[in-house]
Amino acid sequence: MMVQNKISQSVVNFFEIIVIATMSSGKSTLINSMLGQELLHCANEATTATITRIHNKDKQRNFRGSAYRLKSNRNNKKVRLRSLVDYQNIIDSNTLKEWNADININYINLVGNIFSINNINGDIILYDSPGPNNSQDNNHESLTFDLLANGHYNMIIYVLNATQIGINDDQLFLSQVNQVLKTDKSKKIIFILNKADILDEEKGENVEKFVETTASYLESIGFIKPTIIPVSAISALHARKALSQQSLTRFERNMLQQNLNNLDNARLIKASYNISNSFKKISPPNLDKQDILITIKDGLEIPKSKIENLIYFSGLPLLESIINHNFKKFSL
């Protein structure tokens, strides 16, 4: 009996993480930075229109993708019926952009290697979701609420936009999240204070102060001792793209250079809130080793160690090590 249990457990041992937030806070960018490539569609306007499930398979070379139409059962609203609309053995960002824009598709399943995550005794699953506050499309709201209220997930990553702390939409959504967490204490939540690169220290926009303000704001909504990590998802994404020789647009190259200059120390990591020091110790890559130059484009070469340090300074690896740690604990 014991053995049977173990076998069935190893088949269905999924550690599921939902990434939620109001529109344009950087959910899809954050996931792309973990993937190390720009697979999910990101943009300044309301963008994500589907739930996208990303199933980590460490050894798989490319991402496979299936697109579905989810419908709720007339008799039981909680039961969702799924019909397959399209399938691609090797999926790319253009097809994903098309699927995302297709009104017949509201659920996408991707299977492939999430660069920064390793499966142990089970598989990690990430979910991207649409911001629920898109006034042009109520379907976004119901898709995200359904995931939040009925999904079988273990962890929430809530992405706050550092440039818009305390906006009303966010407050409403956060109280709904808090209600859900009160009914299931086993679920963990981590807050990401994204777009930390935009804060202007010289104008007094000090990251520590921002984190403290955010903590009081979250506590006023009802979150007790919230874990907060300031992150620049876009810096990590650009840096990882550069390291793996993916091409960057002129805009992205400029942003990369700007962030190499501005995010040149561990202040985001130091400012993280309610995180034990053992996590913060993940050290930046060694600067003493023999450095090589990475060619970003003709005439622009940047030392590899500088780009690796930017990834560390972006705060993203801190989130990744917390995910890996929680997953390890879960899969023991």
Contact set with ligand GTP (CB under 6 A)? 21, 23-29, 42-44, 46-48, 130-131, 194-195, 197-198, 232-234
**Smallest distance, Å, CB 74 to ligand GTP?**
29
d(CA 81, CA 114): 28
| Partner interacting with residue 43 (select from ligand GTP, Mg ion, none; CB below 5-8 Å by kind) | ligand GTP
**Smallest distance, Å, CB 26 to ligand GTP?**
3
Give me 252's structure tokens. 């992205």
**Smallest distance, Å, CB 24 to Mg ion?**
8
Nearer residue to ligand GTP within complex by CB, 131 or 317: 131
Burial 161-195 (b: 16+ CB within 10 A, else e): bbeeeeeeebeebbeebeebbeeeeeebbbbbbbb
Nearer residue to ligand GTP within complex by CB, 28 or 37: 28
Nearer residue to ligand GTP within complex by CB, 55 or 238: 238
Nearer residue to Mg ion within complex by CB, 31 or 189: 31
| Partner interacting with residue 275 (select from ligand GTP, Mg ion, none; CB below 5-8 Å by kind) | none
d(CA 56, CA 47): 23
| Partner interacting with residue 133 (select from ligand GTP, Mg ion, none; CB below 5-8 Å by kind) | none
Phi, psi of 198 (to 5 degrees): -80, -20
Nearer residue to ligand GTP within complex by CB, 115 or 291: 115
d(CA 51, CA 162): 24
Biggest distance spanned by C-alpha atoms of the chain:
65
**Smallest distance, Å, CB 192 to ligand GTP?**
9
Nearer residue to Mg ion within complex by CB, 69 or 97: 97
Q: Which residues sit at the interface with Mg ion, rule CB under 5 A? A: 27-28, 47-48
> CA torsion, points 108, 114, 120, 126, in degrees to nearest 10?
-40
| Partner interacting with residue 197 (select from ligand GTP, Mg ion, none; CB below 5-8 Å by kind) | ligand GTP
| Partner interacting with residue 37 (select from Mg ion, ligand GTP, none; CB below 5-8 Å by kind) | none
| Partner interacting with residue 154 (select from ligand GTP, Mg ion, none; CB below 5-8 Å by kind) | none
Whole-number CA gyration radius for the chain: 20
Nearer residue to ligand GTP within complex by CB, 13 or 262: 262
Q: Which amino acid is at 43?
A: A
| Partner interacting with residue 293 (select from ligand GTP, Mg ion, none; CB below 5-8 Å by kind) | none
